[in-house]
Structure 1
């Protein structure tokens, strides 16, 4: 079994997110992420948030979770952030599950596997969160926000997964929307998956520095 795309679900979540975020300017990132989470029928949606962060993405993920009948979890680093987040989301009639604690530790301790994960690449712990996340046999979709503020994010994403272990990135794309998004589909590779592992060298060019990297896949 693998993640299967539902255009109908994505369209519904997109339109509902537009309505929910109509007071915000430039919310295209929110609508896109919401449509993706719903379209992939994500049952466990996880995001990270901290004091002062934008709420539009959270609103979109909450909308998506209502369409998939899924669980929307937001991880915050401290109680003040948790209170601020919950209070703000309640104003929109939404009440995602909030977990307070170190994001990497919380992700490690989550009992359920993650289908859709959204992190902020401006925060230093984002790589640790991605590595600690548990994905099921369907694989998962990863979204890194604010990637144009960091160099070579796509290269680092692949270095976290394409290491010969049990997970690998099937495809990834950079979208120049908002402050930049890196989106990746991670497939779980294991016994009975029917996948044949092959190794090959891929040349990638950093978008900003122009530096070339060789990645063994």
Structure 2
């Protein structure tokens, strides 16, 4: 089974996020991320957050979790970050679950459908290495991708047991790098050393006009 896109649910989450973020002067990134999380029917939505960061994306993710009847979890950097986050989300009428700790440690016990990471404040490589994704596939969103050089998501999956089926960089906000993690393939085994992976290789191509990245098997 693979992730199935629902444009109707995505549109509803988009519009609800627009309404919820009006007091925060709006955020195109928040609305887009919310629509994606809802449209892909994500049941476990996980984000990282540090003190001083914007909360519009968090509001959008909470909206998405309501539409998917899913769970929205925020991994806060410390207790001060958690306190600030809880107060900010409460003002928007939302109360997602908050866990304090290092993201690369917290994600070990989760099977994630939709992951949002701030590449400016988190060790993206470590988080991707430790994260576990659902058999249906998953979506990973890297915020502030234009700020951090050489942090394209596709590179963090090279040689791993999961592959990126498609990825794209969008010049929204300070840059969004989005990767669609492919569904678990039957017979692929639990590790990267299976016979199937030894007999094939993946080739990445980037469309120069759109910036969209494709991965094909040869």
TM-score range, shorter chain: 0.7 to 0.9
**Cα distance in structure 1, aligned partners of 2:184 and 2:11:** 30
Residues 66 and 205 (structure 1 numbering): CA distance in 2 closer, same or farther, change over 3 Å?
closer
Normalising by structure 1, we get a TM-score of: 0.86
Structure 1 gaps, min length 5: 207-215
RMSD: 2.3
What is the aligned partner in structure 1 of residue 211 from structure 2?
Answer: none
What is the aligned partner in structure 1 of residue 161 from structure 2?
Answer: 166
Residues 9 and 205 (structure 1 numbering): CA distance in 2 closer, same or farther, change over 3 Å?
closer
What is the aligned partner in structure 2 of residue 28 from structure 1?
Answer: 28
1:183 aligns with 2:178: yes
Aligned residues: 203
Q: How does 1:140-155 map to 2 (within 5 A)?
A: 140-154=138-152
What is the aligned partner in structure 2 of residue 213 from structure 1?
Answer: none
The one-character-per-residue Cα deviations of 1:70-95 (angstroms, maximum 9, x if unpaired) are 00000012111111111111111100
Residues 202 and 10 (structure 1 numbering): CA distance in 2 closer, same or farther, change over 3 Å?
closer
**Cα distance in structure 1, aligned partners of 2:96 and 2:184:** 31
- The secondary structure found in structure 2 opposite 1:64 is helix
What is the aligned partner in structure 1 of residue 123 from structure 2?
Answer: 125
**Which stretches of structure 1, 4 residues or longer, exceed 6 Å deviation after superposition?**
none
- The secondary structure found in structure 2 opposite 1:106 is helix
Residues 203 and 42 (structure 1 numbering): CA distance in 2 closer, same or farther, change over 3 Å?
closer
Offset at 1:103? Answer: 1.3
**Cα distance in structure 2, aligned partners of 1:106 and 1:200:** 30
Offset at 1:162? Answer: 2.5
What is the aligned partner in structure 1 of residue 43 from structure 2?
Answer: 43
Say if 2:3 and 2:183, in contact at 8 Å, map to a contact too.
no
Q: How does 1:53-132 map to 2 (within 5 A)?
A: 53-110=53-110, 113-132=111-130
